[in-house]
Amino acid sequence: MKLVFPNGEHSQVLLNPGVNRIGSDPEGAVVLTLPEILPVHCEIHITSTGANLQVPAGTTSVTVNGKAVADLMSLRAGDTIGIGPVVAKYAIVEAARSAPSSSSSPDDDSGATRVRMAVPKYVLRGVSGAVFSKVFPVTGPVVIGRAAECDISVPADEISRRHALVKPTPDGVSVEDLGSSNGTYINNRRVQHGFLNPGDELRLDAVRFILVAPGMEMAAQSNNNHKQAAPTVVGRTSNPNSKLQMWAAILFAMAALVMIVVMIKNH
């Protein structure tokens, strides 16, 4: 993903996964040194599900396709973003080359290291209705609602157009109801602001999700496997009859050896 500035206020900027701050702050991802620009005028969050434009409280001079943004709005390729007097275009970066065919030899290595897709820390797993059996990574702010532009769009009449906002934190996922008609619930308790831990249920009217932490799941499964595995001792056997069998074999071998020695002497 990248931002292009048609009027030349800034060179094009490649957006990194996570938070990209735009404003006059020299530490920002995009630095615009104009009187009308605030230190953090807006932020673009890049997640595995797309991009969201977030505006700090009290900022009123940010638009998407001419529509004022009051809090959070998802972005699509080709959107025009107004940042005070500055205009930027949100675009998708096209791949520079196609993937190599299966017949390519190892010598065709371009030198670039293939980056393995990281497992998301938190995932919402749908357990009812239109989201049943679907999984949704939560790697940044995610808006859930009926509208098509939501990060998680749920085609259900009982869901508001912008129903709830979820955000990952170091310890779990925060939840905010966005003024929905039928309410947002955590473990059957209605909340305006709440917090999800792994294993908790998020319910938007009749549509339900479970918060899953894939890394924690794998660790728990590994621990269970270790507990269930039977302990073994190298060099020993758990069969009580094995010692008798061992001594019987030794005595049989000694008897055979004595018989061989006697036969040699008699011969």
Domain range list for the chain? 2-91, 122-212
pLDDT of residue 203: 96
Candidates 2.40.50.140, 2.60.200.20, 3.30.70.330, 1.20.1340.10; CATH matching 2-91: 2.60.200.20
Quote the CA–CA distance of 69 and 52 in Å, as a whole number: 11
Q: Which CATH architecture has domain 122-212?
A: Sandwich (2.60)
Q: CA 260 to CA 267: how far, in whole Å?
A: 11
Amino acid letter, 235: G
**pTM of the complete model:** 0.45
264 vs 258: CA distance, rounded Å: 10
User: Tokens 């979820």 — which residue?
Assistant: 166
Q: Are 209 and 201 in contact (CB under 8 A)?
A: yes
* 122-212 matches 2-91 in CATH topology: yes
- E-strand stretches of 6-49: 13-14, 18-23, 30-31, 42-47
* Series of mean pLDDT values for 10-residue runs along the chain (267 residues): 86 86 90 91 85 85 90 87 93 56 51 53 89 86 89 90 92 93 95 94 94 62 48 47 64 63 57
Give 128-159 pLDDT, tens digit per residue: 988 988 888 888 888 999 988 888 889 888 99
d(CA 44, CA 69): 12
